Amino acid sequence: LQTMFKEIAAQKVQEMQEEGAVNVVDILDENSYSIGHIPNSVSLNDTNVKEYIESTDKEKPLVVCCYHGNSSRGAAEYFSQQGFKEVYSMTGGFAAWPA
């Protein structure tokens, strides 16, 4: 089965964010998100994911982040199936985010 998303490095995400060229979603649980997350990322969970999908520009690149970069792969695949054109899973997750 071919995956619809690509892997992306944290450094590259940071550069794209500075240019305003990307949406970043974080799938960490609420507690982990409150401890630390990527600036300007949107915390997504079962209660708000549907609304996010319906209200977000699917043409803009979307990066999915979790803690170590494992859970985000499945979520990135899910978002690509929901019509997002360019979806990335952030390699290494939040643990790889430049301090």
The set of catalytic residues is: 66
C-alpha dist (Å) from residue 80 to 2, 5, 37, 76 = 12, 7, 22, 6
If we measure between CA atoms, which residue out of 85, 82, 88, 68 comes closest to residue 25? Answer: 88
Please state, in angstroms and rounded to a whole number, the distance separating the CA atoms of residues 41 and 65: 9
22, 13 contact by CB (below 8 A)? yes
